[in-house]
Amino acid sequence: MLKKLGLIATCIFVYGGVSLAQVEITPTRPEFVVANAASRDGQDLSGSWSYSIDPYRDGLYGFHGSPSGYGHQRFAPQDVDIATRRAPSALFEYDMARSPRVTLPSSWTNHAPEMRHYEGLVWYSRTFEAKKKRGERSFIRVGAANYTARVYLNGELAGTHEGGFTPFTFEVTDLVKSGENNVTIGVDSQRTDKSVPPPVTDWETYGGITRPVQFITTPETFIDDAWVRLDPDNRHIRVTVRLDGPKAASQPIQLSIEELGIDLREETNADGIWTAVFPAPERLVRWSPENPKLYDVTITAGEDDLAERIGFRTISVEGEDILLNGKPVYLRGISMHEEELGRDPSRVMTEAAARALLTEIKDGLNGNFVRLAHYPHSESTVRLADEMGLLVWSEIPVYWRIDWEDEGTLDAARAMLAENILRDRNRASVILWSVANETPVSEARNIFLNTLIDDVRELDDTRLVTAALLTSQSDQGDGEVARVDDPLVTSLDVMAVNTYNGWYGNVPLAEVHEISWLSDHGKPMIFSEYGAGAQAGFHEVKNPRKFTEEYQAEYYRQTLAMADRVPFLRGMSPWILKDFRSPRRQHPIYQQGWNRKGLISETGERKEAFDILAAYYRTMTETSDETSTE
Ligand code: GCB
């Protein structure tokens, strides 16, 4: 249920040199943003839900493809037992109320042993009490459901959504009733060659409802979107607020930041939008990893108000430097997946679980940066990064083998991008939006990714755009040379490359430090990935081979020595903080279904390489002047 705003541009793009397609250049926006949704009135529907698997999608279609029949509709709110007592010949082949119960949010991987590798449709259902009030609107918001979802309230379809990592909200004002309500969500983890990401990745799919479901109530006219940020000129604060509802136009509106003595009162325009620019007060403290200062911001419009905690900072590029608040910054980072510590994770990324991982980065590694790979992580993780002082790389799962020629695929990617940016553009920690990971160059791919880059620039002109690229490498007599020769670089602010010499490829580990890097782009580069696998506790000191801690440690020494020789390198997010589940990694001794490139094991045990990176970053903090707070 996505509303496409704006005009269809008249640009004609050539797809793959064959077909002509008209691409809408105005970004696809979700119908509702519901800024700071967690702070909204209503009910958190996290907790106990019943579930029923449906691998043949029997709840949706009969066996000849027609809509499902009465006895199959998992979304119908009836009590099957009572119905069959009343009509003894009625046949029901489900009973949601008597199905097993589980606690959401969580992927279904841990619901039962037989769910561990399940892919397909699962129905979830629960009831909640509501009281309908005149002049009040109601919504169901899902933080994330992987990969497609259908939401029903009291048996009626409220909406459908594609994309496993971004929030979606459906209005249910007309469907909700006073008393008991039934909400049923069908989540289908099945992906196709046209989905984003495609079925083949290097991580666990984690199908299911992995972030909170909320029942939200708002006044008839409410503040749907509010974006408050420091202008790139570093001297002004800019505000954009969008109201939704019958009284959105010409509505008195107020913004206050008490600590800064800011109290603005104006009116929305005819479209329900208020934009303002005003000088940043002298005493404004800039947000930075060293001083992650957040301000309480309140917006009031009619009967609605919205509270936010917002940090103010600038991020820009000058030549080969990345500037935070006008000063060069080196990104001392690491990558992470959304997977909690423990032997049996199921993507239950509570705040405590995220804090445990981010603390390892901030305090353990002396880091100031995290790459949240390979899809948008939960909003609470990004808010935590704001609070703890970690710069964030945020990305959408445009990964490996995307169908570059399919318009539906492009639409899906654009929708995910917009949902991600609109959710997180108030977070000072987010400095980089990434549009892709390791995508081979082709004409169709360049067009696809340039459309996404244009969208980013349209939705957010205060951050940098990047993508994790592949590079070419050769030895033409004077040593191994790696080149950043992807034509996409022209459109990016920061070049990012994934490089695995010494783990993949033919360069011997001992020679990795000699590799040279060439770029004539005059832009900053970061190593968005490099890494080697090691099983925690597996040692071979004399002749270390792959998967020993010693090999991984030497890999880090070699790669860091190489990094020291790259004149335009401005940061790194090695692969990866923690061992993570990946069905493609099946060495029976070293991997057992885990990608072992973590610097800590799945239970948090630090490997030798952890200390090498931590020491490298510590030295950097000791030698650099890091007081970018003004
Ligand atoms: C990559 C991918 C990442 C993989 C990693 C690996 O380049 O971007 O998703 O997990 O390599 O471990 O091979």
Q: Is 434 in the pocket of ligand 1 (CB under 6 A)?
A: no
The protein residue whose alpha carbon is closest to atom 7 in ligand 1 is 498
Residue 202 sits in a domain of what CATH number?
Answer: 2.60.120.260
Shared-domain flag, residues 308 and 320: no
In a domain, 230, yes or no: no
Q: How far apart are CA 79 and CA 382, in angstroms?
A: 41
Task: Return d(Cα 531, Cα 295) in angstroms, integer.
Answer: 38
Q: Global pTM?
A: 0.95
What's the rounded Cα separation, in Å, for the pair 575 and 499? Answer: 10
Nearest CA to ligand 1 atom 10: 202
User: Domain count of the chain?
Assistant: 3
Angle at 143 between CA 108 and CA 395, to 5 degrees: 95
Domain encompassing residue 83: 37-218
Choosing from 312, 339, 358, the residue where a domain stops is 312
How many C-beta neighbours within 10 Å does residue 147 have? Answer: 26
Please identify, among 218, 249, 282, the residue that sits at the C-terminal boundary of a domain.
Answer: 218
In this structure, are 181 and 253 located in the same domain?
no
Q: 6 in a domain, yes or no? A: no
Residue by residue, DSSP assigns 310-369 as: E----EEEETTEEEETTEE--EEEEEE-S--SSSS--S---HHHHHHHHHIIIIIS---E
- Quick check: is 599 in a domain? no
The residue among 253, 282, 312 that closes a domain is 312
Q: How far is the CA of 202 from the centre of ligand 1 (A)?
A: 6
Residue 560 C-alpha to ligand 1 middle, in angstroms? 19
Q: Which amino acid is at 354?
A: A
Which is the closest atom of ligand 1 to the Cα of 201?
Answer: 9
Q: Both 56 and 90 in a single domain? A: yes
8 A C-beta contact, residue 548 and residue 534: yes
Say yes or no: CB of residue 466 within 6 Å of ligand 1: no
Residue 571 CA to residue 18 CA, distance in Å, equals 39
Distance CA 55, CA 302 (A): 48
Q: Which of 200, 201, 202 to mutate to test the pocket of ligand 1 (most atoms within 8 A of CB)?
A: 202
Distance CA 392, CA 166 (A): 17
Asked if the structure places residue 518 within a domain, the reply is: yes
- Ligand 1 proximity of 591 Cβ (cutoff 6 Å): no
Contact 73, 54 (CB under 8 A): no
Is the same domain home to 305 and 418? no
Atom of ligand 1 nearest to the CA of 580: 10
Whether residue 192 sits in one domain with residue 61: yes
Same domain membership, residue 188 and residue 74: yes
pLDDT value of position 25: 55
Q: What is the pLDDT of residue 627?
A: 45
Beta bridge partners of 324: 315, 327
Q: Which of 396, 498, 499, 572 to mutate to test the pocket of ligand 1 (most atoms within 8 A of CB)?
A: 498
Give yes or no: residues 392 and 488 share one domain. yes
Paired tokens of 39: 């702070």
CATH of the domain at 395: 3.20.20.80
What distance, in Å, lies between the first and last C-alpha atoms of the chain? 43
Q: How far apart are CA 245 and CA 220, in angstroms?
A: 6
Residue 554 CA, ligand 1 centroid: distance in Å: 19
Contact 128, 149 (CB under 8 A): no
Biggest CA pair distance of the chain: 85
Structural domain includes residue 8:
no
Low-confidence ranges of the chain (pLDDT < 70): 1-25, 625-630
Q: Closest Cα partner for 204 from 339, 102, 317?
A: 339
CA of 399 to the centre of ligand 1 (A): 10
**Residue 283 counted as domain residue:** yes
Mutate to test the pocket of ligand 1, among 374, 402, 546, 575 (most ligand atoms within 8 A of CB): 575
**Partners of 331 in the β-ladder:** 571
> What is the structure's pLDDT at 115?
98
Closest ligand 1 atom number to CA of residue 531: 12
Distance (Å) from CA 366 to ligand 1 centroid: 23
Token pair of 301, please?
A: 């419009």
Query: 76: helix, coil or strand?
Result: coil
Atom nearest to 597 CA in ligand 1: 12
Q: What is the pLDDT of residues 12-50, one digit of tens each?
A: 333 333 333 344 457 788 999 999 999 999 999 999 999
Q: Give pLDDT, residue 400.
A: 95
Structural domain includes residue 9: no
- Cβ partners under 8 Å of residue 426, min gap 6: 35, 36, 226, 227, 228, 229, 308, 310
- Please check whether residues 265 and 413 belong to one and the same domain: no
CB half-sphere exposure, 129, CA atoms < 13 A:
1
Q: How far apart are CA 173 and CA 175, in angstroms?
A: 6
- Distance set, CA 113 to CA 94, 120, 222, 338, 624 (Å): 21, 16, 44, 22, 51
Distance CA 355, CA 181 (A): 35
Say what the pLDDT of residue 15 is. 31
Task: Give the bridge partners for 43, in sequence order.
Answer: 215
Claim to verify: residue 83 and residue 200 sit in the same structural domain: yes
Radius of gyration of the chain (CA): 25
Shared domain check, 438 and 401 = yes
Kindly state whether residue 349 falls inside one of the protein's structural domains: yes
The pLDDT tens digits for 359-383 are 999 999 999 999 999 999 999 999 9
- Whether residues 123 and 57 share a domain: the answer is yes
Q: Are strands 569-572 and 331-336 parallel, antiparallel or unpaired?
A: parallel
- Three-state SS sequence of 485-542: CCHHHHHCCEEEEECCECCECCCCHHHHHHCEEECCCCCCEEEEECCCCECCCCCCCC
CATH code of the domain covering residue 283: 2.60.40.10
Q: Looking at the structure, do residues 190 and 305 belong to the same domain, yes or no?
A: no
For the record, the structure tokens of 1 come out as: 């249920």
> What pLDDT sits at residue 556?
98
Cβ-Cβ contacts under 8 Å for 106 (sequence gap 6 or more): 208, 209, 210, 346, 347, 348
Task: Report which secondary-structure segment, H or E, holds 468.
Answer: strand 464-469
